[in-house]
C-alpha cells in the first residue's frame, strides 16, 4: 500500500546521504526507500539518526527521525532523500494541523545532525550527483511506495484481527477470516450503515 508522507526536515542528495551511512557502517540506500514494519527499532538508519540526536543533547523520541525517499513506478530511483524531525503518513485523506502534528520548532541536535550529513557532500564544483538546494530545511510532501516504502496503518491492520466488535450494539464476531466483513454486514443490515464492507479510513 502506498502513501504520502508529509514531513519537516531537510533535503539531501542520495550520494551525500549514502556516504554518511557508509561512514557509519550502514549499507548505502542507492535511492531505494526502506520501510520497516517495526519502525524505528528495526531500521538501522533511524536508529543511527536518533543516537546522534541524543548524543548532541536532543530529545529522546526515536520516532521523529527517519529518512524518507520518494518513489514512483516506471522511473528511476530518486537522487533526493529527506531527513525528518517530524513526519506523518497519509493513507487516504486527512485533515492537517501542522502546528500540532508537525511542530515547526527544530529540536536540539538536529542542526548538528544536518551539518554532519552535509559534511559528506563532495566539494567538487561540478559534482553532477549533488542536487539543487541540498540541505534546505522546509515542509515537504513525498510519495512513497511502489513497491518499497509501503505504509500499512494500524487501523487497517486492526481489521485483520479477531474478535471484531460492533461499535453500536457491541455484538462480537469471531470468524478468523471474515470477522471484519461480518461486522460490516451486520452494521449495514441491522443498523443501516452506508459505509460498505471495506470503508475508506480517514487517516
pLDDT in tens, 136-162: 999 999 988 644 445 667 788 888 999
Do the bridges between strand 67-68 and strand 3-13 make them parallel or antiparallel, or are there none, so unpaired?
Answer: unpaired
- 118 belongs to a structural domain: yes
pLDDT at residue 71, as a whole number: 86
- 202 belongs to a structural domain: no
- Compare 99 and 123 and report the one with higher pLDDT: 99
The kind and range of the H/E element at 82 are strand 80-90
Q: How many other CB atoms are there within 10 angstroms of residue 45's CB atom? A: 22
pLDDT at residue 46, as a whole number: 92
Pair 12, 112 in one domain:
yes
- 196 belongs to a structural domain: no
Statement: residue 123 has pLDDT above 80: no
Question: ω before 138 within 30° of 0 (cis)?
Answer: no
Statement: residue 42 has pLDDT above 90: no
- The mean pLDDT of the chain is 87
Q: For the chain, how many structural domains are there in total? A: 2
pLDDT at residue 92, as a whole number: 83
Pair 72, 158 in one domain:
no
Residue 129 in contact with residue 45, Cβ under 8 Å?
no
Q: What percent of the chain has pLDDT over 70?
A: 89
Statement: residue 126 has pLDDT above 80: no
Pair 40, 131 in one domain:
yes
Pair 61, 109 in one domain:
yes
**93: which DSSP letter?**
-
Pair 102, 161 in one domain:
no
pLDDT at residue 1, as a whole number: 46
- Compare 131 and 39 and report the one with higher pLDDT: 131
Query: Can you list the alpha helix ranges (DSSP code H) found in the chain?
Result: 14-23, 44-55, 98-101, 110-118, 154-158, 179-191
Pair 158, 102 in one domain:
no
Sequence-separated contacts (24+) of 128-135 with Cβ below 8 Å: 129/13, 129/14, 129/15, 129/79, 130/13, 130/15, 130/16, 131/11, 131/12, 131/13, 131/79, 131/80, 133/11, 134/11, 134/12, 134/13, 134/16, 135/10, 135/11, 135/12
3-class SS of residue 20: helix
Q: Structural domain of residue 62, as residue ranges?
A: 3-144
Statement: residue 106 has pLDDT above 90: yes
pLDDT at residue 135, as a whole number: 96
- 53 belongs to a structural domain: yes
17-26, 47-56, 84-93, 110-119: range with lowest mean pLDDT: 84-93
Cα dihedral 84, 63, 111, 14 sign: negative
Residue-wise pLDDT for 2-12, tens only, equals 678 999 999 99
Statement: residue 201 has pLDDT above 80: no
pLDDT at residue 148, as a whole number: 43
Amino acid at each position: 500500500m502506498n502513501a504520502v508522507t508529509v514531513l519537516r526536515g531537510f533535503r539531501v542528495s542520495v550520494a551525500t546521504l549514502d556516504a554518511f551511512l557508509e561512514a557509519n557502517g550502514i549499507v548505502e540506500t542507492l535511492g531505494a526507500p526502506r520501510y520497516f514494519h517495526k519502525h524505528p527499532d528495526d531500521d538501522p538508519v533511524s536508529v543511527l539518526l536518533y543516537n546522534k540526536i541524543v548524543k548532541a543533547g536532543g530529545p529522546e523520541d526515536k520516532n521523529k527521525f527517519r529518512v524518507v525517499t520518494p518513489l514512483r513506478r516506471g522511473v528511476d530511483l530518486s537522487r533526493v532523500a529527506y531527513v525528518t524531525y517530524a513526519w506523518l503518513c497519509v493513507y487516504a485523506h486527512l485533515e492537517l494541523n501542522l502546528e500540532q502534528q508537525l511542530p515547526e520548532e527544530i529540536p536540539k541536535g538536529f542542526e548538528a545532525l544536518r551539518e554532519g550529513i552535509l559534511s559528506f557532500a563532495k566539494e567538487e564544483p561540478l559534482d553532477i550527483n549533488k542536487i539543487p538546494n541540498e540541505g534546505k530545511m522546509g515542509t515537504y510532501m513525498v510519495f512513497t511506495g511502489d513497491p518499497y516504502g509501503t505504509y500499512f496503518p494500524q487501523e487497517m491492520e486492526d481489521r485483520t484481527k479477531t474478535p471484531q466488535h460492533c461499535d453500536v450494539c457491541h455484538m462480537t464476531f469471531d470468524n478468523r477470516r471474515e470477522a471484519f466483513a461480518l461486522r460490516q454486514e451486520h452494521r449495514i443490515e441491522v443498523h443501516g450503515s452506508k459505509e460498505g464492507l471495506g470503508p475508506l479510513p480517514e487517516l
